[in-house]
Structure 1
């Protein structure tokens, strides 16, 4: 139940109970594998950057450019971070240069593409909306209509992973 509270604490008690039952009967793995049989093939930073750029180009052409999209071993999901959007300002001569970077927790190198896309959509939305407000989630749903369902299923996977280990390798 600890994993469920940790990852699904914002969901209702009934949902938490259903997920707990799935975990206790060891059915989460089969349920997730049936929906998502394979992991993505975006294991290196170059491919991850290109994938993020493609999403950004389709939905957010006029937003600030992203300079880097990488997997980061230092991001720990336990602290509620699946990825991070960082804004780095540097002085170059007499100009202030701003760079936007997206870092995805390394544990997501081997998950289904839909989960990775949901994380990238979330971080890309921070280019326009800094806070997790109504406009932010509206933008996320514009870029990924199944955003909320994917976030829920990713959280179920995190509960599963903590208890039973990885599903996709």
Structure 2
């Protein structure tokens, strides 16, 4: 079975659209989660000099979400859709929902590895490996509870729309579901 890399030159326009769709869906989900939970604090800090530092605290999430989602989304797309050769809306929705769910622990892992310790709040001195693992597990579970309700549906909708794009790109008119 040919790999995605072997098909890449002929599918490059769709891979670009797929990547942009994944990044856009990740940002929509991240902003959709962050805005309702941070809006009251945003308004409270608007007139204070620390306002810019408040916005800077959200930046790691807005960078980690699309990077991790791109990794998860492209891998899932290749495993579930490209490798099987079955381009169905159901598979697109499954890839999107699974991507929206599996991205949570990976985003927190990414933040634990590459961000300043302040992402996890005031946890004392620089956390050690075991404390980072506990924080990643705790924050992953909390973010799944509080944000999974938006990341899973956004991923599912994005997966279905990207299936429509792929079907239009390859010229298939009706769904096999």
Higher helix share: 2
TM-score after normalising by structure 2? 0.32
Larger CA Rg, structure 1 vs 2: 2
Q: TM-score, normalised by structure 1?
A: 0.33
- Between structures 1 and 2, the one with greater strand share: 1
